[in-house]
Amino acid sequence: MRKLKDVKEKANQERLLRRKNRAERRQTELQESAEVKLQTLSELEESTLFKTLGTTLEGWTEEEAEDLLWENGPNEITRGRKKHFIVRFINALINPFNIVLIVIAFVQLITELLSSDDRDFLTISIILILVLVSSIISFIQSERSNNAVEKLSDMVTNNADVLRDGKYVSLPMDELVVGDIVKLSAGDMIPADVRFLEVKDMFIAQSALTGESHPVEKTALRNDQPNRALTDYPNIGFMGSNVISGSATAVILLTGDDTFFGSMVQVLAGERGQKSFERGVRSVSKLLMMLTLFLIPLVFIITSLKMNWNAALLFSVSIAVGLTPEMLPVIMTSTLAKGAVSMARHKVIVKSLGTIQTFGEMDILCTDKTGTLTEDRIILEKYINVHGDDDERVLRHAYLNSYFQTGLKSLIDVAVINRMNQKGLSDIKKRYTKVDEIPFDFVRRRMSVVLVDDTNKRQLITKGAVEEMLAICKYAEIEGVVVPLTKEIEKYAMATYLKYNDDGLRIMAVAQKNAVPDEHSFGVSDESEMVLIGFIGFLDPPKESAKGAIGKLKEHGVRTIVLTGDSEGVTAKVCSTLEIGVDQPVISGSDVANMTDEELVSLLKTHDLYAKLTPAQKERIVSLLQNEGHTVGYMGDGINDAPALHRADVGISVDSGVDIAKETADIILLEKDLMVLEEGVIEGRKTFGNITKYIKMAASGNFGNMIAVLFAAIFLPFLPMLPIHLLVQNLLNDISQLGMPFDNVGETYLQKPRKWDAKSIRTFTFIMGPLSSVFDIMIFGVLFFILGYNTVLPNGEVLFQTGWFVFGTISQILVIYAIRTSKIPIIQSRPSLVLTLTTIVVSVIALIIAFTGLGSVIGLAVLEPIYLLYLLGVSVLYILSVEFVKRLYIKRFGDWM
């Protein structure tokens, strides 16, 4: 017993020593990227590979695997630590616009508490309620779109057959470690990044990971081309891809976060870049904050000369509230919600309301090809003879080969069979009986069937890769005559093949021979002295709506750039059909990898087609375009698109996309009709137009009122309006604009992308605001000098305040009609019914307050009826002046809204 105990203790000490050594090696090894590691390991001789990994063909013992699992962690994607619910809500609450309102509410609260008069907390309550409602909406939107990392992790939850203690056992994937030997077969998900050791008929579906439209052949051959794209390595399989057919033994190279798949998850786990909509709101909020910080102390200093500092501070805060468009969160939310509802009618899910506006701002759409622009399925496009002419006989032979082979029918076989069914020729199979077959393998890259027809004629039919097929052909069929395959004819056949291959078709050769033995065990040696009869070509076809959608986007100023992991030839073919990047060379991922950012930016200005890209390269291109000031949308449906979807201002996925693509995207198209892209752009521009109208109206109108208040505070012996009057007037003006989300937007405005521009809003405010002040001051003169509403009359001060209250309200409502369009209002551009009703209702309310006793509730008097004439006259002059200045503004700046 003691001896056994000593042995166990010694073994434990050795295990601890190995564990320590491994940990030290792990600490000191370079933090290479998954791409570099996989490239290095793919090129090693098998003996060197096992030495590097520290394993053998026998795999690990259970104890050794436990040590490695303890050191390196489980084979799973690390989920970022999720912030607490309260922290996430606070992040939604704290933004520049809300800060403006919160500061104003806080200052007003202090003022009310210090006031000895009756305290009124209504304004404070309204402001805080608006802040809370907009924050809750923002929080709910962000919560719905924060599950991308969890979805990625959930995708890898199956078991794998792994060699432990000399025998294969089924273990959860998260228990696998580097150096494990695993067995894979059709239907399995590859559990980690692996190198294949032995393969048999191995095809891998990695389109979701890489964008390739066809299943990829894998071999155990050492990678001898280090400059090829990582996803083209023949002996490497990636976590998250699937085995379509065949079987293999493989050794695990990378696990968990270290894998190629995991590196994309880490990108998604980081903080998402600020969207265009958020940047725009921030810039507008900054402008409002600067105006507020400037006006509060200025008004306070001036008014404190005429009243005690408590009243002066209250009035100054009221000015700030009047300057701030409190209804902006409501206007924006309702405008965006209207856009989302409109998109829902077209079966489009909008997960983030802000995306609607950004969609309209988008000026570049980057898109994957496979599954987005194309159907993500293979169709038989060509069946041609050696001359390149359509030949139904070639199709019949290809069909017989595909139909009678008994292995797992590939997408190519299915495409051939479908084409024969469509042509109504599939009954030909009834004439034949299968005698034998020679299965496909990756060395020959072809497969054959031996058939006998109803006349007892035997025939060997073979299809496969062109080069391998030419190697077994001794004859060729030229114009129905079998002739020897001379060098000249072979060169001619290759030219036909290359022509269509360069066009983006995947080409296979078809051959046959009739000299087949009656009784025979057929094998590879029988694939000889065959007759080349022609070629078949396959294509992943574009979606029917893709060309029209791309054209419409171009008409609306949106450029389309294709970023795909598929081959250059296929990309060129599809994009030529869609009229994207016509006559442009296709830039490959290897070219992109060798470019500096400056070189790539220069290329992006003129080139629209990029193929064989890695996910990181797609994200890099999107990021560089954003750095150049573009608002970038990205449309994709695969795992390989997730980083770019995450980075883009607008992430768009389609109904057939993988879960992670749909979770990462901001917009999901439930139907394959891409014309909704144009509709989304138009809806986004309508939304942005109506939001911009409100901001410019509110900011310029309120700014003009504040200038008038400053003028009055300096030159009048009393305040032109009390704080309560300012707040009620501001509230009425905001209510009158609640119809803005439903307003009509001119066709001209929709023709090009629109961006948030704080400078434009500032310019507009500083021009139109003072213009309104001129007419405010004009009405001051009417009230003070003509009507005599001054200190001479007992209630002259109140009448003056009432007169300006109703003019300020009515004039700002009327100017809505002039500002909302660059055209002549009403005549050339009609407002929506909702906006018309809200403005009329509020105008009537303002008149009732001024000309009935209702105004006494807020300390206003009843005006004389004669004032209506002055009110109408000055208002008409104001509108005419706005129209005149509008023409000058458009002439100077080229645009109105």
Helices (H) and strands (E) in the chain, counts: 31, 23
Helix (H), strand (E) at residue 301: helix 276-303
Q: How far apart are CA 260 and CA 32, in angstroms?
A: 12
**Angle value at C-alpha 459, between 457 and 463, nearest 5 degrees:** 160
- Classified as helix, coil or strand, 535 is strand
606: exposed, middle or buried (Cβ count in 10 Å: 0-12, 13-18, 19+): exposed
Q: How far apart are CA 230 and CA 234, in angstroms?
A: 9
Q: Helices 122-144 and 85-93: crossing angle, nearest 10°?
A: 120
Which residues neighbour 498 within 8 Å (Cβ) at sequence distance 6 or greater?
Answer: none
257 classed as catalytic: no
User: What is the distance of C-alpha 588 from the center of its chain?
Assistant: 22
Q: What share of the chain is helix, strand, coil (3-state, %, to 5)?
A: 55, 15, 30
* Residue corresponding to tokens 């206007």: 331
According to DSSP, the β-strands at 506-513 and 159-164 are unpaired
* Residue corresponding to tokens 């504040």: 706
**Angle value at C-alpha 221, between 220 and 226, nearest 5 degrees:** 125
- Classified as helix, coil or strand, 406 is coil
- Classified as helix, coil or strand, 504 is coil
Strand ranges in 143-220 using DSSP code E only, listed in sequence order = 159-164, 167-172, 181-185, 193-205, 216-217
According to DSSP, the β-strands at 458-464 and 506-513 are antiparallel
* Residue corresponding to tokens 């020897």: 484
Q: How far apart are CA 733 and CA 842, in angstroms?
A: 8
Q: How far apart are CA 266 and CA 132, in angstroms?
A: 33
Per DSSP, the residues of 414-437 read: HHHHHHHHHHT-GGGGGGEEEEEE
User: How many other CB atoms are there within 10 angstroms of residue 64's CB atom?
Assistant: 19
Which residue, 489, 80, 435, 67, is CA-closest to 269?
80
User: What is the distance of C-alpha 733 from the center of its chain?
Assistant: 37
Q: Which of 67, 201, 368, 526 is catalytic?
A: 368
Q: With beta carbons less than 8 A apart as the criterion, state whether 707 and 833 touch.
A: no
* Local structure of residue 783 (DSSP, 8 states): I
User: How many other CB atoms are there within 10 angstroms of residue 484's CB atom?
Assistant: 8
374, two tokens: 């194309």
Q: How far apart are CA 333 and CA 394, in angstroms?
A: 61
**Angle value at C-alpha 542, between 559 and 381, nearest 5 degrees:** 140
Q: How far apart are CA 425 and CA 427, in angstroms?
A: 6
Which residues neighbour 74 within 8 Å (Cβ) at sequence distance 6 or greater?
Answer: 174, 175, 256
Q: How far apart are CA 67 and CA 179, in angstroms?
A: 12
User: How many other CB atoms are there within 10 angstroms of residue 449's CB atom?
Assistant: 24
252, two tokens: 């695990």
49: exposed, middle or buried (Cβ count in 10 Å: 0-12, 13-18, 19+): buried
Q: How far apart are CA 165 and CA 3, in angstroms?
A: 24
Which residues neighbour 285 within 8 Å (Cβ) at sequence distance 6 or greater?
Answer: 95, 96, 97, 99, 100
* Residue corresponding to tokens 């794998």: 160
- Which residues are part of the catalytic machinery? 368
